């Protein structure tokens, strides 16, 4: 049998896909592991406080990060929820069912699930585009401090932007139902208030914190990483940064979808207080 220089026979071609799947799996787990370790380092940096008196406080750094997240996120999240609000409202129009409860369908649908998930996915595309190049350029004193400000800001920005999305979507749904179905303002908001629960607001905040934290952690982990492309003098740094941004965004979106599904299965299904609240099941 022919042997290669290293003394090993070449692997059969049919094993190549298995190798690619294995590399993808281990690489993904490695990214999530590095993000988890970085989150712990960020928590440690918060506990320690300032390492150097000349450094800006974490509060100032987090406030700076939060300001640009809100400034850049509000128009994007608002536009996304224009579509979400009109879509939920038109479902009642085209289905011709539960028309009087359109306000509840729009408002509770956004508050319970859609607003947080769509806001998280929007920020998953936005945050890596800023965080990864910023950290790749260097400058922060430590990985923990650099991550702490960004993760903390994202954990606060996501619930705030989700609430903003709820407001935009609810207003758009109100005007759409008024124009399409002639639904009165009083009926729209009365049904919304009747079906709204405090638990829905709690769910929005908890999921928003989780989605924002995991997105910022993955972006920081990718921004602080130094791969083979960074060590190769002939490699194009722009290509390496773009690849890192795409990886962080895709992994963040996958993590958000997984967390959202986990919340639905283990909270909405497993916890009685989070059961259906819009319609009672038919009785015989």
If pLDDT is split at 50, 70 and 90, which confidence band does 50 have? Answer: low
pLDDT tens string 185-205: 888 888 888 888 888 888 899
If pLDDT is split at 50, 70 and 90, which confidence band does 239 have? Answer: confident
- Give pLDDT, residue 275: 57
Taking residues 134-156, report their average pLDDT.
Answer: 82
pLDDT tens string 74-92: 999 999 999 998 888 887 7
- Where is mean pLDDT largest: 136-140, 188-192, 256-260, 268-272? 256-260
If pLDDT is split at 50, 70 and 90, which confidence band does 146 have? Answer: confident
**Average pLDDT over the chain, rounded to whole?**
80
Task: Provide CB contacts within 8 A for 73, sequence distance 6+.
Answer: 119, 122, 123, 126, 157, 161
Taking residues 251-261, report their average pLDDT.
Answer: 91
Taking residues 134-162, report their average pLDDT.
Answer: 85
């Amino acid at each position: 049998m022919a042997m290669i220089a290293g003394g090993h026979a070449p692997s059969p071609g049919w094993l190549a896909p298995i190798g690619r799947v294995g590399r993808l799996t281990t690489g993904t787990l490695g990214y999530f592991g590095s993000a988890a370790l970085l989150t712990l380092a960020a928590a440690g940096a918060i506990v320690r406080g300032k390492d150097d008196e000349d450094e800006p406080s974490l509060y100032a750094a987090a406030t700076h990060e939060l300001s640009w997240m809100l400034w850049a996120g509000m128009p994007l999240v608002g536009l996304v929820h224009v579509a979400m609000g009109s879509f939920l409202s038109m479902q009642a129009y085209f289905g011709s069912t539960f028309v009087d409860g359109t306000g509840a369908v729009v408002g509770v649908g956004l508050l319970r699930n859609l607003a947080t998930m769509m806001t998280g996915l929007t920020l998953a595309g936005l945050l890596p585009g800023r965080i990864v190049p910023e950290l790749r350029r260097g400058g922060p004193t430590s990985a923990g401090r650099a991550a702490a400000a960004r993760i903390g800001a994202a954990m606060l920005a996501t619930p705030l932007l989700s609430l903003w999305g709820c407001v935009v979507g609810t207003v758009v749904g109100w005007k759409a139902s008024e124009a399409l179905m002639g639904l009165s303002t009083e009926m729209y908001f009365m049904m919304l208030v009747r079906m709204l629960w405090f638990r829905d607001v709690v769910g929005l905040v908890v999921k928003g914190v989780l989605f924002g934290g995991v997105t910022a952690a993955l972006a920081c982990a990718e921004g602080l990483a130094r791969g083979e492309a960074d060590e190769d003098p002939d490699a194009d740094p722009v290509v390496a940064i773009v690849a890192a941004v795409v990886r962080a965004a895709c992994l963040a979106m996958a993590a958000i979808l997984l967390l959202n599904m986990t919340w639905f299965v283990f909270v909405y299904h497993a916890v009685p207080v989070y059961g259906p609240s819009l319609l009672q099941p038919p009785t015989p």
